[in-house]
Amino acid sequence: MKLTRVLDHADATKLCRGIVAAAADDGGLPVTVGVAGADGVLLALERMDGAPALGVNVIVAKLHTAIVGLKDTIERQGKGIDPSDYNDPRITTFGGGVLLRHDGHVFGAIAVSGRKPEDDHRLADEARRSI
């Protein structure tokens, strides 16, 4: 029997707050951060003061894309892929969504929005590596 990790609200909130703290410390643009469980459903969200409201929708799209696509969203960016090719309006090709895996099993995703996609990805990946 293989055991897999499971994210709960406390884990997700801790991850979000860690990313917000890192984003505040580096002095860059304010971000919106979200964490979803293995089912792609949002567990926690943090939106820094000044972060655009649209970031919430972008977070949900990045989380969904990472979970259903089984890869970080940055891997789709700049590949000439049109999101409409997937016949799923929630797919995005913006970097900033990272997949969480343990022993080959997906247990969630982290997404950041508000900066350049590479910076969003960096913040999300740093949080992933802290787990």
With 0-12 / 13-18 / 19 or more C-beta atoms within 10 angstroms meaning exposed / middle / buried, residue 44 is buried
Distances 103 to 43, 75, 77, 93, 106 between C-alpha atoms, Å? 22, 21, 26, 26, 9
CB of 120 closer than 8 Å to CB of 58: no
One digit per residue, pLDDT tens: the chain, 131 residues?
Answer: 677 789 999 999 999 999 999 999 999 999 999 999 999 999 999 999 999 999 999 999 999 999 999 999 999 887 777 777 778 889 998 999 999 999 999 999 999 999 999 999 999 999 999 99
CB of 6 closer than 8 Å to CB of 105: no
Could you state, in order of their start, the residue ranges of all structural domains in the chain?
9-129
Task: Please state which architecture CATH assigns to domain 9-129.
Answer: 2-Layer Sandwich (3.30)
CB of 121 closer than 8 Å to CB of 98: yes
